[in-house]
Structures are given as structure tokens and as C-alpha cells.
Structure 1
């Protein structure tokens, strides 16, 4: 079963529907109590939401309790939360891009299997994770060097900045599915 954290964003249910179509059982929650038993779940998806990682201190604390126990994927705000959790800075984009197509580039990586090196995505974000050396490998960028996808060097943790659930994003679903298959989430 997948635990899908809804950060009060309507796009969460697009992601939920993808998981259901692919045959996964999903529990959607809006709030994680401190005593939550993560052992019942094969994976966690930190869904999109509003604001910045600084608005979610209890979620950052919760991540500190579970990040070694279960595969995690973060989408949009979830991507930013994971980057921030692992010590990366985030910054505000010079130009806001909400609901617009953006060309991204992805390097050859286990997550990009079956994905062309260039494709279009839909973005709804104004924050980016700043590239730096550390625990995360940045595998996809938009111009000017804004991280669109990362994975942890050793842990089953992935972040996707754009909305893989969008009907205009042809290969985002493939990256999301690759994560589920690579880390054997069933």
C-alpha cells in the first residue's frame, strides 16, 4: 500500500488516480500523527501543496523518523520538502510558471529508462532546489539549470518538481512508474 500525503492540493487526487489505475492500494491522509505506523506501507508519496518547505516543520520532523524505513517520492512541494530535508537550499524563480509547458532535459539514469532526453512538462511552482554537492543526484533540469528530478545517492528517495500526473506531461508518468518498479513498491 502507498501512503499519499495530501498537502491540501487538488492535484493530489490526480496522483491518487494514477496509483489506482496502476493497481496500487492507496491511503490518502492530510495529517500525520506522531505515532503513525509506517510499517504498513510499501512507499510514501509526498504530494503537491502550497507554500514553502518552511511552512511544514512537522512534516520535516516526520521525515526524520521515516526516511530510512520506506521508499519516498516527493512531487512539487514534496520534491522541495525532500531537498530541504537533505540540506539543500531553495530559491524563488525569477519568472513564475504556473500551468505552462516547460522543456526539460534528463540524463541517462535508472529513473529515465524509456524517457527521451528532452520532453515537455507542466509546472506549477515558484520555488526550486539549488544545485549543490550532497546526497542528491540531480538528473533532470529545465533552463536555466533548475532541478526537475533528483534521486538520493543511496536511499530509495526521489523528487519530481513538475506534475507527472498532467495530461500534457507525456513522460512524467513513466518516471513515476519507474520509481515504483525500481524500488519494488507493490
Structure 2
């Protein structure tokens, strides 16, 4: 069955339907990962977005039971050059198309994803619609141009009910803005006793749980769309160690008085080089974000930049000069991607121990 992708700038790409038969709209973004399509598709940070995979063949090793980053993928749709119909891998239990049908996610294959990616890189992310060939294209373009991007993505993907994953180690409260399973895995592997709470939890509720530390998870959308989370982080600073990842990194910055801006096309993929300024070391990282923290004035706000992006110089990490808090824009848990920065979880454990030994006094170094 034929299907088309219509963009708000008037571009039309015709291809073949895969996945769900329904139509879908969303912000069209691209990811550069050569592998890890299952983890990418199930990453809650892609909520309401249509994902363009730049690697030409997607689905070649099928779908397995182990690589999901969430139970219910929140992506609006996917775009691929070629979708493998006969995957080959010993763990494979289904094809990409079968998964998309089960999860009701529409897709389109057989289009020039290279041309689409170049368009996004030139003009920035675009709103788009995957639909049948019998629609009025001009009407769709006009609707896309006047459509507003959703602001409730975090609310959609955050846990509805708090829950605990017992452990005998550090007591960590994970604030779920759309947390990937990989974050939980890394905390559990280190013996942490993890309590997962909803995005709009208050600082008072968190502190009543008497945590050794608080982790701010990744998540979708604009960080300014969750003002309650910004206020929560403000009220935690100095009272408990805080570690932010991706959206959590942006929220920590906003809580300290920094500003965030939307990027032209964001960072999405598993091959983004980042420089660790403290160790004078370059890491290859997994990333998925469309917003970034403005670097100007961070030092005056007490934030010391610790990591920067090699490709464009954007802020990839900082720590607070006075409070036990630090964050990174990339994903140290990877999933998918390299594990170059996985030791940041160890730094978080060290920070919690140091803070506790100091009698909850101010801890200046991560």
C-alpha cells in the first residue's frame, strides 16, 4: 500500500506503508544511529515525534524481548529508507513491521531519507504528516503550518503511580519525566534502592522518602513546559545530591536560573563526541534532545561547565559550585549506544556517600 509524508514546507515524499494503517502527525526529526532502532523507537523522549532513521536498512536483526526502553513506545511514527521484512538474529521474535502494527505506530518506507535529513539540517525540524495518497495535500500543508506542537509529552510518558525497586544500597528517588529502562538497570546493578515517582512530585514529598540522592530522568519536549518540576528542583538544591540526565539536565539549569533554547535540529544518535573538560578526554555518547542550555552566565549562577559537544560547542554537562548537584545532556546509560560515560553513575554514588559522611554539609566537588 502506498503512503506519503507531507511536510509543512510543502515537500511531499511518496513511499510504502509499514506498521499501523492510521494517519499520524508530529515533529519530524532524525537519528543517526546505525544500530539500536528498537531502543530508539521505545525511548519515551521521542513522544509525539516522527523518527527518521538515517541508516538505510532498519529492522535487519528483528525485534527481541530484551531491548525495549519502555513498554509502550510513544513515538508518533517512523520513516525508513528500507524496512527489512526477513530479519536474521537468534533473539528475534518478530519483525519491525509486526511490532509497529501491535503498538499502533504508523510508518513509511522507501523514501529518500538522505534528502529528508538534509532538508531538516538546512531548515530545522519540520512538522509532518504520514497519510494516504487521497488527501488534499494543500489542506494538509496549511493545517501543519498552523498546528502547534504538544506541550504535555512529559505528562503522557511519566509513571502514573509511584513504585519501588528494592535494593540494599543507596536510596535513590528517580523522578520520571520519561525515564528509559536503562537508567533503572544501571541503578539496580549498583545495588540502589530505587523509588520511581511522577514528574509533578513536590520536593517535600521527595524529602519525606529520606533519599540518599535524587535522579532527574530524561524525557521529551520543552523543559519550560514542566514548571512544577523546575520548582521542585529549586527546593531540593543543597538538601540532597541531585544527578540530572538529558531533560533532567535542562531542568537543573532552569532551576538555577539558566535559560534553554530550541536547537535547529537537535542531537539524536549514538555517535556524538563530547569532551570531558575535567579529564581532558573525549567520549562518544548517546543523545536525544532538541533543546539546550544557554552557556552565557552559567558561572555567575554557580554552574561550572564540565562537558561540551565537539561538533557544535553546546553545553553537555555542568556541576554546581556550592550544592551537591551535577548533570549531563547525553545518556550515560546509553541504550542504545556506547558506554564511554557509564562511570557517571559511580560519580553519583560517590557524591551521595560524600554528602552523607559530611553530615549533609555543602559538597563542592562531584
TM superposition score normalised by structure 1? 0.87
Distance 1:34 1:69, change over 3 A: closer
Q: Secondary structure at the match of 2:345?
A: helix
Once superposed, what is the RMSD of the aligned Cα atoms? Answer: 1.9
Structure 1 residue 70, shift from structure 2 partner: 0.3
- For CA contacts below 8 A with separation 6 or more, give which structure has more relative contact order: 1
Partner of 1:122: 286
Structure 1 residue runs of 5 or longer lacking an equivalent are: none
Runs of 4+ in 1 over 3 A off after TM superposition: none
Structure 1 residue 105, shift from structure 2 partner: 0.8
Structure 1 residue 159, shift from structure 2 partner: 1.0
Q: Secondary structure at the match of 1:63?
A: helix
Q: In proportion to residue count, which structure has more strand?
A: 1
Partner of 1:139: 306
Greater shift in the superposed pair: 69-78 or 97-106:
97-106
Partner of 1:105: 275
TM superposition score normalised by structure 2? 0.46
Structure 1 residue 33, shift from structure 2 partner: 4.5
Is residue 2:239 matched to residue 1:69?
Answer: yes
Distance 1:105 1:35, change over 3 A: closer
CA contact (8 A) 1:60 1:81 kept: yes
Q: Secondary structure at the match of 1:4?
A: strand
Structure 2 residue runs of 5 or longer lacking an equivalent are: 1-170, 357-366
Q: Secondary structure at the match of 2:257?
A: coil
CA offsets, 1:61-117, max 9 Å, x none?
A: 222222121000110000000111111111222232223411111112xxx5xxx60
Structure 1 residue 156, shift from structure 2 partner: 0.6
Give the count of matched residue pairs. Answer: 178
CA contact (8 A) 2:250 2:293 kept: yes
Larger Rg: 2
Counterpart-to-counterpart distance in 1, 2:204 and 2:243: 21
